[in-house]
Amino acid sequence: MDVAVFGGGPAGCASALRLLDLGYSVTIVTHPSALAVRVGETFAPAIRMPLGKLRLWSRFLESNPVPSFEIQSVWGTTQMRVRNSIFDPYGPGWHVVRRKFDNELLRTTEERGCEFIFSSQFPDVAWDGQAWNLRIASGPRIRAHFLVDATGRASALGCRLGGRRIQYDHLIALVAFSDSPGFPQLDNATLVEASRDGWWYSALLPNRKFILTYLTDYDLLPLGATFSRTHFASQLRLTKATQERLASDWLPDEIHGFSANSSRLEYLKNSAWLPVGDAFTAHDPLCGQGVLWALEGGITAANSIDQFLNGNKRQAEEYQTKGLTSFESYLTHLNSYYSIEQRWPQSPFWARRRTRLTKPYEIDQPRQLVKDVARN
């Protein structure tokens, strides 16, 4: 087998699909929970470019995504600003049901010849000088000439091989779903609204579900009430435009928590493996291009792997160097956008973002924090 990809999200599948098109044999090793709740439901208009390269654009349209013709934002001012997609060369953005999108991506990857292994434990990995030997619990032993780490912010393979994860903030996403309120204010626009201790994102999905996401720093949440519905509702009452999209007595049935920090895997001079997507560099959801960058990164990584396996042994190093340079540019632009908001000078959340994020925070985010689901 030529390449083993750890992780079955958009970055991992994009890598696999491109490698399959280049004639390589590929196996994706992923956790069974990869089919669970996923977030990141709004795609940037430019998503059509990587989907086209992967021969997925027509299939994507057949899945009936909802076009998003404008982005509404209340940021830096109480006045709402609107950006219409008529000015975007790629057309509208798209709202999707992420679990459906990811499952369809996995299905397409399998149809094109990729093998899949689902394992709840990360396999033992060892380099014998010529290839990687993978030992999977209760499964087959695999020999691969190249590995791809597409395990998200965990960077499971990279950390197993000696790397460490560098975090630049404490951002966490608290996500709630509900049935569509059906109000006139709830159209297909994406709404982003800043508030005292973070910011909110909301949109209407193709299944007529409404997604509401609160972004804040996890250490600013009350102890013992991390994902409580009451705290969520109390923060929601500090908004105006977001609250107007919901019934006055609305409370979420449950809240899901996800890491949303800006983070990266430290630079590792390596050969015969690459990190891709969030496993390499993870971005703040404010940029709104997470899936777009995951797909593009997967394609770029696959092209680099092709060159590496055909004799260009420096390609893995060049791939990482370019990726980290791009991440530094991203941090600069992220700071510029956060700096627009000056309405809460005493808020720790906004105070932390008035200076450029240049070094990691000292406190590591507890892993359990992003696994809990509140029902209280």
pLDDT at 370 exceeding the cut of 70: no
- Tokens representing 104? 């369809």
CA angle 56, 60, 62 (to 5 degrees): 120
Domain holding 111: CATH number?
3.50.50.60
pLDDT, tens digit (0-9, with 9 covering 90-100), for 13-51: 999 999 999 999 999 999 877 556 677 889 999 999 999
- Per-residue model confidence (pLDDT) at position 182: 54
Q: What is the domain count for the chain?
A: 1
pLDDT at 209 exceeding the cut of 70: yes
- Per-residue model confidence (pLDDT) at position 153: 93
The answer to whether residue 185 sits within a structural domain is no
The answer to whether residue 183 sits within a structural domain is no
- Tokens representing 361? 């925070």
Q: 231 pLDDT band (50/70/90 cuts)?
A: confident
pLDDT at 367 exceeding the cut of 50: no
The answer to whether residue 37 sits within a structural domain is yes
The answer to whether residue 31 sits within a structural domain is yes
Prediction pTM value: 0.90
pLDDT at 362 exceeding the cut of 50: no
Q: 227 pLDDT band (50/70/90 cuts)?
A: low
The answer to whether residue 49 sits within a structural domain is yes
Among 162-166, 249-253, 295-299, 300-304, the minimum mean pLDDT is found in: 249-253
The answer to whether residue 258 sits within a structural domain is no
Angular region, 132: left φ>0, alpha ψ -120 to 50, beta rest: beta
- Per-residue model confidence (pLDDT) at position 187: 67
Q: 286 pLDDT band (50/70/90 cuts)?
A: very high
* Span 159-182, average pLDDT: 86
- Per-residue model confidence (pLDDT) at position 88: 86
pLDDT, tens digit (0-9, with 9 covering 90-100), for 236-284: 999 999 998 887 777 777 888 889 999 999 877 777 999 999 999 999 9
Buried b (16+ CB within 10 A) or exposed e, 20-37: bebebebbbbbbeebeee
- Mean pLDDT, the chain, as a whole number? 87
Domain that holds residue 279: 3-65+96-166+263-327
The answer to whether residue 121 sits within a structural domain is yes
The answer to whether residue 305 sits within a structural domain is yes
Among 152-156, 167-171, 225-229, the minimum mean pLDDT is found in: 225-229
